[in-house]
Amino acid sequence: MRSGKFDRVYDCIVAIKTGKITIDGKVVSNPNFFFNPKKSLVKFDSEKIRKVPYLYFLMNKPAGYLSQKAESEKTIYDLLGKLNLPKTHAKSLSAVGRLDKESEGLLLITNDGKLSNLVMNPKNKIIKRYYAVLEDIININKTKLLERGIQIEIEHEQYRTKPCRIKVVGEKEVYISISEGKKRQIRKMFDAIDNKVVYLRRVSIAGLQLGKLKAGEVRQTTKEEILEKLEI
């Protein structure tokens, strides 16, 4: 149930386990308790929880901002503040497929969990395209290794990346298209062929384009537009 009352899922679980949530007048202590949000009365600390509407945004994330919520650093949620959304609406939103702090480009932000799962599910093979500037001149033979898949380390374990497409557009510039999105994957892929990404921008998620959005700008969109562009 989208309530916008909690910053993190963990906060909601703690509220449930400490007896602060009631459903139809009864205290619920099981985070997996099933109920019908359309028919049930849910309260947090005796205050009625209201379901917030589905919201969808596209953002051009600037470098220097985290994609996840944090108190001590700048985050994309600071940029959402200019939209003047109700507090509960803003708190319900999450980025779908994060970009690391140094990276720029297209972010999909929503509170629609089902849509998020569709985009993130690797079985759907949604292509994300990035523009990258490298530290050293590109070695074509080594980029072919990346296109076939290469071993990188993810959370202290070896992982072989899925095949990708690379288009060389300059001595140190490429477009790279991948169907997955492991943490810092593109940076690690180029590290694996003895090169380094010095600039990275996501330009598209399937048919969703960064377009003319300037750094830090946000555009509201619809579920219909997203599904049409993703061709799911």
Active site residues: 100
> Of 202, 168, 229, 165, whose CA–CA distance to 59 is shortest?
202
Chain center to CA of 16: 26
* Rg (the chain; Cα; Å): 20
Measured between alpha carbons, how far is 2 from 172 in angstroms, rounded to an integer?
44
> Of 215, 205, 178, 183, whose CA–CA distance to 56 is shortest?
205
The beta strand positions in the chain, using DSSP E, are 21-23, 26-27, 42-44, 47-48, 56-61, 94-96, 104-110, 128-134, 151-154, 157-160, 165-170, 173-178, 197-205, 208-209, 218-220
> Of 72, 141, 79, 128, whose CA–CA distance to 99 is shortest?
128
* Phi, psi values for residue 66, rounded to 5°: -75, 150
- CA distances for 157 relative to 97, 120, 154, 184, angstroms: 21, 21, 5, 14
Quote the tokens at residue 86: 């109700």
